Homo-oligomer: A and B are copies of this chain.
Amino acid sequence: MHTQLNRRMTKQRHIIIEELRKVTSHPTADQLYEMVRKRLPRISLSTVYRNLETLSAEGMILRLDVAGAQKRFDATVENHYHIRCNHCGRVDDVHMEPINEIEEIARRRSKYQSVSHSIEFSGICPDCFGRG
């Protein structure tokens, strides 16, 4: 016996997932809304929000709580680091091994339990750097 989710696959939900999987750009809810709207013009923004919420809650997609900015969403669930452009706000993946050892250090020093970590890099992206 396990938790019954009773989820339905509506065309809205289906297309939201599909569109999110098409890109690697970590779109915000409203960016994804615009993408989905091309195929489903009558979808509402709250439907997009609600699905991103439920899908990330069940671990189907990843929600990036970017510091001091809009939430972003990612169809790639495996834990990885991100870098955010200080100029245009875009978020890219950084491919490197997760440094899990620091969690043990933090756990000892802080007395917290169940410690996890995330690293957010920031800088100037190639595009913004190019055009000064």
Residues of chain A at the chain B interface (Cβ within 8 Å): 65-69, 71, 81, 83, 85-86, 92, 94-96, 99, 102-103, 105-107, 109-126, 129
Identical copies in the complex = 2
> B115 touching A118 by the CB < 8 A rule?
no
Q: With CB as the reference atom, state the residue of chain B lying closest to A122.
A: B116
Instruction: Name, among A103, A107, A117, A121, the residue most crowded by chain B CB atoms within 10 Å (CB to CB).
Output: A121
A113 engages B99 (CB within 8 Å): no
Q: Are A123 and B115 in contact (CB under 8 A)?
A: yes
Q: Are the C-beta atoms of B117 and A113 separated by less than 8 Å?
A: no
A71-B68, A129-B113 given; A121·B106 CB < 8 A: yes
Given A68-B65, A94-B106, A106-B96, is A120 in contact with B120 using a C-beta cutoff of 8 Å? yes
Assembly CA distance A68 to B29 (angstroms):
14
Given A67-B66, A68-B71, A83-B110, A102 contacting B122 (CB threshold 8 A): no
CB distance from A86 to the nearest CB of B (A): 8
Given contacts A94-B109, A95-B109, A105-B96, contact A119 B121 (CB under 8 A): no
Q: How far is the CA of A13 from the CA of B123 in the complex (A)?
A: 31
